[in-house]
């Protein structure tokens, strides 16, 4: 199925090898986890197998890559796509249409399947991934997790021999994560010929579904063997810091949201939302994909005008103020890191905000250098941001936002795409910011991280906040309500 020998990859514009002398054989029907720290080369390996490197993404490639007997370096992407399906870390990056039904049907239509066969594959793929209810929806209206499920459905509709999932749980809520793991097991049981390659920061999640694990580090293959013999990062979870800021109390309310309602056309997304974030407080926002979390942040930031209700910042009613006025005091990290990369080098990306506000490069330099160092990006300061890994882009987004010293941070899934070690570093940085009086409202799906990082947990269901309590009380209430997927230690 997969036969790689001496594979070396260097992206144009980069001085570092993304992959170093990779030798790998995967037999037909095998299911393999590929793991390793952020930036280790997992996504590059996936792009090589799918033919995007070097055919669509410029890179120097040495060595041989054969999949299903096809030489990936010589075959066209069209031919490779008939055998290899890749669900990328950024699902938006592979969408070709405007609505769910068209997106899932797009592949079979391009394979020139009959209308009956297209419809049959569409129905099966939507049902398999649990998104039949989204069939008539626009892609722009979906949450990040819903987009990821639709991208998987689009790949399954092609019926490939090899399916590659790049960080498939990154944007999924805990319930959907459990369902995906169960789906992987069903896919294996249903088709013994299907080969699965799953790129995942938390490989223990799939330990009962897959048998073999491959570990990459700095582009090199450092382990290839049974999943039971791998040294996972799961034990690092016990080393994640717990917040103790609540013992010292918080400052006055920084953000107040009152009686907020929001709708997309006739579909109500937020229902009578009330919340506060105080100075020095980290408030976590959890809930199923599509429950309204991202919409709430976009409304606070001003991207969306609320149907009714008010947003107050430091006592000022900003409900009708433009984004430009809010951006001087509010920093936001989008769910998709590519949506806020604007320049051609990492250094410029960090200082673009202060420069636009009138600061000089000399004035920016100390804080920018400190931020690059804190996020492990100093060695990439002259690199193009788009050459970074997904997790590195996420850290760059946060560094760029923090360079402007906002009083309130809105973070949409900042831990997505981060290995456990990087997640721990990010938690420490957020703790330092909160200790300096910054208020933080953060969306996250990992209960282990959120209950350690946050001073309060808000839980949303169907656009309404149902729980607002300190972590230990929120966990107890979630358990009482039967929301077992949201309890720490589940995945």
Residue 239: the pLDDT is 57
Rounded CA separation 126/123 (Å): 5
248 and 203, same structural domain?
A: no
pLDDT tens for residues 103-141? 999 999 999 999 999 999 999 999 988 899 999 999 988
150 and 36, same structural domain?
A: yes
* Residues, the chain: 491
Which of these three, 215, 233, 251, is where a domain ends?
233
Q: What is the largest CA-CA distance in the chain?
A: 66
Q: State the residue range of the domain holding 173.
A: 2-233
88 and 168, same structural domain?
A: yes
247 and 277, same structural domain?
A: yes
CATH number, domain at 122?
3.40.50.300
Please check whether residue 344 lies inside any domain of the structure: no
Rounded CA separation 458/22 (Å): 45
**Reported pTM:** 0.80
156 and 51, same structural domain?
A: yes
Please check whether residue 401 lies inside any domain of the structure: no
Confidence of residue 491 (pLDDT cuts 50, 70, 90): low
Please check whether residue 348 lies inside any domain of the structure: no
Please check whether residue 362 lies inside any domain of the structure: no
246 and 217, same structural domain?
A: no
Rounded CA separation 84/70 (Å): 11
Which of these three, 178, 200, 233, is where a domain ends?
233
pLDDT tens for residues 96-112? 999 999 999 999 999 99
411 and 322, same structural domain?
A: yes
Can you read off the two tokens belonging to residue 48?
Answer: 């090589």
124 and 215, same structural domain?
A: yes
Residue 244: the pLDDT is 60
Please check whether residue 388 lies inside any domain of the structure: no
Residue 186: the pLDDT is 80
Residue 122 φ/ψ region, left for φ over 0, alpha for ψ in the -120 to 50 degree band, beta for the rest: alpha
Please check whether residue 190 lies inside any domain of the structure: yes
Which of 166-170, 187-191, 449-453 has the lowest average pLDDT? 187-191
* Residue 362, burial from CB neighbour count under 10 angstroms (0-12, 13-18, 19+): exposed
Rounded CA separation 100/91 (Å): 12
213 and 169, same structural domain?
A: yes
268 and 227, same structural domain?
A: no
**Which segments of 312-419 does DSSP mark as H helices, in order?**
323-326, 346-356, 361-374, 390-402
Split into its structural domains, the chain has a count of 2
Rounded CA separation 134/421 (Å): 35
147 and 27, same structural domain?
A: yes
Give me the mean pLDDT over the 414-418 stretch.
Answer: 81
Torsion angles phi and psi, residue 412, rounded to 5: -100, 100
Triad 480, 486, 490: Cα angle to 5°: 110
Check whether 10 has a pLDDT greater than 50.
yes
Can you read off the two tokens belonging to residue 186?
Answer: 């069903």
Residue 15's alpha-carbon distances to 53, 349, 377, 382, 384, in angstroms, are 17, 19, 15, 10, 12
Rounded CA separation 307/89 (Å): 33
Residue 235: the pLDDT is 47
Sheet of strand 31-35: strand arrangement: 84-87, 162-166, 195-199, 31-35, 212-217, 220-226
Rounded CA separation 387/338 (Å): 11
Check whether 46 has a pLDDT greater than 90.
yes
Please check whether residue 199 lies inside any domain of the structure: yes
Please check whether residue 341 lies inside any domain of the structure: no
Which of these three, 189, 207, 233, is where a domain ends?
233
pLDDT tens for residues 260-296? 999 988 889 999 999 999 999 999 999 998 899 999 9
251 and 207, same structural domain?
A: no
């Amino acid at each position: 199925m997969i036969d790689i020998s001496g594979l070396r990859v260097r992206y144009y514009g980069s001085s570092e090898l993304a992959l170093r002398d990779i030798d790998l054989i995967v037999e037909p029907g095998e299911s393999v986890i590929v793991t390793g720290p952020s930036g280790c080369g997992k996504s590059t390996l996936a792009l090589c197998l799918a033919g995007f490197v070097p055919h669509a993404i410029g890179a120097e490639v040495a060595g041989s890559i054969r999949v299903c007997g096809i030489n990936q370096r010589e075959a066209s992407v069209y031919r490779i796509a008939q055998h290899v399906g890749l669900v990328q870390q950024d699902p938006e990056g592979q969408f070709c249409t405007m609505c769910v039904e068209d997106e899932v049907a797009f592949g079979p239509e391009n394979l020139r399947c009959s209308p009956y066969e297209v419809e049959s594959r569409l129905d099966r793929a939507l049902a398999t991934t649990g998104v039949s209810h989204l069939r008539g929806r626009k892609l722009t209206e979906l949450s990040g997790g819903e987009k990821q499920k639709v991208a998987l459905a689009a790949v399954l509709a092609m019926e490939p021999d090899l399916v590659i999932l790049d960080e498939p749980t990154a944007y999924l809520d805990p319930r959907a994560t459990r369902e995906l793991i169960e789906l992987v097991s069903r896919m294996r049981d249903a088709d013994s010929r299907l080969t699965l390659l799953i790129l995942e920061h938390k490989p223990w999640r799939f330990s009962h579904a897959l048998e073999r694990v491959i570990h990459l580090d700095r582009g090199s293959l450092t382990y290839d063997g049974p999943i039971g013999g791998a040294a996972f990062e799961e034990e690092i979870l016990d080393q994640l810091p717990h917040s103790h800021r609540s013992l010292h109390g918080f400052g006055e309310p920084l953000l107040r949201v009152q009686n907020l309602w929001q709708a997309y056309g006739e579909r109500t997304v937020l229902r009578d939302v009330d919340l506060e974030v105080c100075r020095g407080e980290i408030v976590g926002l959890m809930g199923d994909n599509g429950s309204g979390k991202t919409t709430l942040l976009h409304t606070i930031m001003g991207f969306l005008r609320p149907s009714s209700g008010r947003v107050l910042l430091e006592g000022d009613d900003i409900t009708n103020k433009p984004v430009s006025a809010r951006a001087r005091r509010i920093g936001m990290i989008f769910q998709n890191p590519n949506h806020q990369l604007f320049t051609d080098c990492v250094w410029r990306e960090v200082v673009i905000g202060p420069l636009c506000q009138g600061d000089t490069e000399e004035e920016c330099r100390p804080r920018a250098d400190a931020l690059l160092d804190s996020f492990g990006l100093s060695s990439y300061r002259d690199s193009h941001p788009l050459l970074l890994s997904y997790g590195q882009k996420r850290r760059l987004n946060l560094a760029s936002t923090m360079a402007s010293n906002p009083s309130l941070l809105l973070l949409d899934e900042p831990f997505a795409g981060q290995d456990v070690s990087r997640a721990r570093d990010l938690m420490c940085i957020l703790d330092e910011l909160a200790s300096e009086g910054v208020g933080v409202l953060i969306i996250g799906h990992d209960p282990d991280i959120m209950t350690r990082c946050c001073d309060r947990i808000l839980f949303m269901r169907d656009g309404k906040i149902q729980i607002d309590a300190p972590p230990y009380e929120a966990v107890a209430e979630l358990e009482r309500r039967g929301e077992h997927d949201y309890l720490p230690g589940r995945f």
